[in-house]
């Protein structure tokens, strides 16, 4: 049992000094449901006093106390008030669908409603409450919350639910009734439609976000619609494990660090909603790998501050607020270092930005973080699972440290690319081997709508694989016979030695019957050098093997291979095997596909070996990357 849950119950008992029913409900000792969550169980567990979703009675005083002594909490509060003040001057939101999504509007609503509710609770200024009412009236009068893209419904439902819980008792009764009716009709009731049940069973962030939003709505409406509320909570219990299982065994989030922050933050909101309102999390946080996933995110951040931006991850990210939940649960200061938050949280977001929409929730998490030691992470680390990743680094403290991050996995993962065996490499604060990272979805979706195909289909012949950022031709991996990787080919970590700084990937499944076997090994050579060894056992179908490294560095040919230059630093690429092999360079600055992502100076270093040069049936390509001593 984690610290926060016991703290939550202590707060409920404190509230019971004023309202005894609150503590008696939370402390009733009723067992977890042996069968399904039903109305009787829900009525027994439901915290009677409001607010009960994350916020609890008397929390205002705790916030004020921390503001007085904690500069991070004070800065969070100031940022929330700044944007709440800005909302007072803006027109209310309109139902504007972009492509298939209302998501930007829903996220803006989540941000505005929670910021205004916080400002009202902390100040008592009715201007915030009146604008909150106007926001709720506006979104409640939308024709729908776009259930065809159910994330839109979920985020809207979370914002409306928290606003009603935190400020509903002070609202005009007609406004409250209108918002509650919309929350039921446009979220909870819609979520019960048969053709939408798949969104709650998806093994990715959709499952987490959709369950979080609808469970919050269910609890908010539990007294009025107890059967639907119980059904929504039970559906979450039955299906959330499908997303949680993807963290196993070591915490590597399949969809990458950016989507970790999205899916996991909403998962944490869900757990705390359950805890504060029902006094239980059903022990969902104990799923293998879930708690370890905070380490995964820290490992994916390189010394430069850039992330290993595989799949649809951004290269840069502000402080990932989901880490605060892990800090409060574990007491590990590594997840909530004040100096990092003050430097990395973007305090100047405008209202058009929604990346800070959970800022109020993050502040509440901050309140429950008790100071503790920072448990250091290993320099060399690996996480197995559906999309295994690993890191070899020389230091966490040195911004110029050597950093290699590599991955396995399958291209048909959620948001997956043909990047099995790919890597990024840093030294001296420079990202030498890069990943192209994310591309905006809407423009790609509109393109495929015009020409045919789909961005999201992941069959072997899907149009998605025509994009450089999605196929293997745009990644630092190995290509055989100029062919696409097999989408279902799984790359596993065959071996990993943290002490020696070595790792080996089994890549044979990427190539089908084109090779007998293929393995890629990484080995650090001190603090400034890395060796990459690819061993391919050829067969009669093997024609040629191409070693690839994607970079934005400028290149000069040398006797050993290439000299890379970028940002005033230099890196040597030496070709150790086969003897006499020379590098070629393919410019990728001009798009090969009309929708390719372009980056200044983008190019691919190629080492091409015809299969007939194999010795004893094996082609071995060995490359050493070294910085200046």
Residues 460-519 pLDDT 10s: 999 999 999 999 999 999 999 999 999 999 999 999 999 999 999 999 999 999 999 999
What are the tokens at 405?
A: 């991050």
User: Distance (Å, rounded) from C-alpha 60 to C-alpha 79?
Assistant: 17
User: Distance (Å, rounded) from C-alpha 211 to C-alpha 205?
Assistant: 10
pLDDT of residue 343: 81
Task: Give 547's strand partners.
Answer: 478, 607
pLDDT of residue 32: 61
Burial letters 232-254, b for 16+ CB under 10 A, else e: bbbbbbebbeebbebbbebbbbb
Burial of 502 (0-12, 13-18, 19+ CB in 10 A): middle
**What Cα–Cα distance (Å) separates residue 178 from each residue in 137, 181, 343?**
7, 5, 41
User: Distance (Å, rounded) from C-alpha 393 to C-alpha 390?
Assistant: 10
The residues, any chain, with a CB within 8 Å of residue 194's CB and separated by 6 or more, are: none
Phi, psi of 601 (to 5 degrees): 70, 15
Q: Mean pLDDT per segment of 10 residues, for the chain of length 629 residues?
A: 36 32 35 78 95 95 96 94 95 96 97 98 98 98 98 98 97 98 98 98 97 98 98 98 98 96 97 97 97 97 96 90 95 88 73 86 94 90 98 97 98 97 98 96 96 97 98 98 98 98 98 98 98 98 98 97 98 97 96 95 98 97 95
Contact predicate 205/212, CB 8 Å: no
Return the CATH number of the domain spanning residue range 381-627.
2.70.98.70
Query: Which residue ranges make up each domain of the chain?
Result: 3-367, 381-627
Burial of 568 (0-12, 13-18, 19+ CB in 10 A): exposed
Q: Looking at the chain, how many residues does it have?
A: 629
User: Distance (Å, rounded) from C-alpha 50 to C-alpha 79?
Assistant: 26
**What Cα–Cα distance (Å) separates residue 613 from each residue in 27, 58, 229, 538, 578?**
73, 75, 67, 10, 9
Contact predicate 222/264, CB 8 Å: no
User: Distance (Å, rounded) from C-alpha 508 to C-alpha 275?
Assistant: 46
User: Distance (Å, rounded) from C-alpha 146 to C-alpha 504?
Assistant: 46
**What Cα–Cα distance (Å) separates residue 79 from each residue in 269, 350, 364, 540?**
21, 10, 14, 64
Burial of 278 (0-12, 13-18, 19+ CB in 10 A): buried
**What Cα–Cα distance (Å) separates residue 575 from each residue in 165, 473, 562?**
63, 20, 9
User: Distance (Å, rounded) from C-alpha 57 to C-alpha 91?
Assistant: 31
Which among 609, 535, 603 is positioned nearest to 564, based on CA atoms? 603
Question: Strand ranges (DSSP E) for 116-251?
Answer: none
How many CB atoms sit inside 10 A of residue 406's CB? 28
Half-sphere exposure of 209 (CA within 13 A, CB side): 23
373-422 pLDDT, tens digit per residue, is 889 999 999 999 999 999 999 999 999 999 999 999 999 999 999 999 99
Alpha helices, DSSP H only, in 184-225? Answer: 205-220
User: Distance (Å, rounded) from C-alpha 531 to C-alpha 574?
Assistant: 9
Q: Is the torsion defined by CA of 59, 370, 346, 445 positive or negative? A: negative
Instruction: Kindly report the pTM of this predicted structure.
Output: 0.93
N- to C-terminal Cα distance for the chain? 50
What are the tokens at 222?
A: 């539990």
Contact predicate 320/258, CB 8 Å: no
**What Cα–Cα distance (Å) separates residue 110 from each residue in 104, 132, 157, 164?**
10, 11, 8, 12
How many CB atoms sit inside 10 A of residue 563's CB? 16
Rg (CA), the chain: 26
User: Distance (Å, rounded) from C-alpha 479 to C-alpha 37?
Assistant: 51
What are the tokens at 618?
A: 């094996």
Going by CATH, does the domain composed of 3-367 fall within 1.50.10.100? yes
What are the tokens at 180?
A: 């509650």
The residues, any chain, with a CB within 8 Å of residue 150's CB and separated by 6 or more, are: 191, 196, 199, 206, 210
What are the tokens at 372?
A: 């503790």
């Amino acid at each position: 049992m984690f610290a926060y849950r016991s703290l939550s119950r202590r707060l409920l008992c404190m509230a019971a000094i004023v309202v005894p029913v609150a503590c008696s409900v939370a402390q009733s000792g009723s067992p977890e449901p042996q069968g399904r969550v039903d109305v009787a169980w829900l009525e027994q567990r439901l915290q009677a006093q409001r607010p009960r979703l994350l916020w609890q009675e008397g929390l205002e005083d705790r916030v004020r106390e921390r503001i007085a002594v904690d500069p991070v909490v004070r800065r969070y509060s100031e940022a929330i008030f700044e944007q709440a003040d800005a909302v007072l001057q803006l027109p209310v939101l309109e139902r504007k669908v972009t492509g298939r999504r209302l998501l930007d509007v829903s996220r803006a609503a989540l941000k505005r409603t929670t910021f205004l509710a916080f400002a009202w609770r902390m100040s008592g200024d009715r201007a915030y409450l009146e604008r909150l009412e106007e926001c709720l009236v506006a979104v409640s009068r939308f024709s729908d919350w776009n259930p065809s893209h159910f994330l839109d419904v979920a985020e809207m439902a979370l914002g409306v639910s928290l606003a009603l819980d935190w400020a509903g008792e002070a609202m005009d009764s007609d406004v409250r009734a209108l918002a509650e009716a919309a929350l039921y009709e446009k979220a909870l009731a819609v979520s019960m439609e048969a053709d939408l049940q798949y969104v709650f069973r998806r093994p990715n962030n959709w499952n987490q976000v959709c369950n979080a939003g609808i469970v919050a709505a269910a609890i908010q409406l539990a007294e009025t619609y107890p059967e639907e509320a119980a059904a929504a909570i039970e559906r979450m219990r039955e299906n959330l494990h499908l997303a949680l299982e993807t963290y196993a065994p070591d915490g590597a989030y399949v969809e990458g660090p950016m989507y970790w922050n999205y899916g996991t933050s909403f998962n944490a909101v869900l757990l705390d909603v359950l805890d504060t309102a029902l006094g239980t999390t059903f022990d969902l946080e104990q799923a293998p790998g879930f708690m370890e996933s905070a380490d995964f995110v820290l490992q994916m951040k390189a010394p430069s501050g850039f992330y290993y931006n595989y799949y649809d991850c951004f290269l840069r990210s502000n402080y990932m607020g989901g880490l605060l939940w892990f800090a409060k649960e574990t007491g590990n200061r590594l997840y909530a270092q004040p100096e990092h938050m003050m430097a990395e949280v973007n305090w100047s977001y405008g209202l058009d930005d929604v990346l800070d929409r959970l800022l109020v929730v993050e502040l509440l998490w901050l309140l429950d973080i008790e100071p503790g030691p920072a448990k250091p992470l290993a320099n060399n680390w690996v996480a197995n699972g559906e999309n295994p990743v690993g890191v070899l680094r020389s230091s966490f403290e040195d911004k110029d440290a050597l950093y290699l991050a590599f991955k396995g996995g399958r291209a048909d993962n959620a948001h997956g690319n043909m990047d099995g065996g790919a890597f990024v490499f840093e030294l001296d604060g420079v990202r030498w081997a890069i990943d192209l990272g994310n591309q905006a979805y809407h423009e790609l979706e509109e393109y495929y709508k015009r020409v045919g195909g789909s961005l999201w289909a992941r069959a072997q012949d899907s149009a998605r694989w025509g994009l450089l950022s999605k196929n293997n031709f745009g990644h630092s991996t190995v290509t055989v016979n100029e062919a696409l990787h097999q989408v279902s080919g799984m790359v596993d970590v065959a071996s990993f030695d943290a002490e020696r700084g070595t790792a080996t990937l089994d890549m044979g499944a990427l190539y089908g019957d084109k090779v007998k076997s293929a393995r890629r090994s990484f080995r650090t050579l001190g603090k400034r050098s890395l060796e990459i060894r690819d061993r391919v056992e050829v067969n009669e179908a093997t024609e040629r093997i191409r070693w690839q490294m994607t970079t934005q560095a400028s290149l000069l040919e040398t006797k050993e291979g290439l000299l890379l230059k970028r940002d005033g630093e230099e890196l040597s690429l030496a070709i150790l095997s086969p003897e006499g092999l020379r590098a070629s360079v393919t410019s990728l600055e001009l798009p090969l596909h009309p929708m390719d992502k372009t980056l200044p100076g983008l190019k691919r270093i190629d080492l091409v070996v015809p299969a007939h040069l194999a010795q004893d049936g094996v082609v071995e390509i060995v490359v050493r990357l070294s910085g200046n001593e």
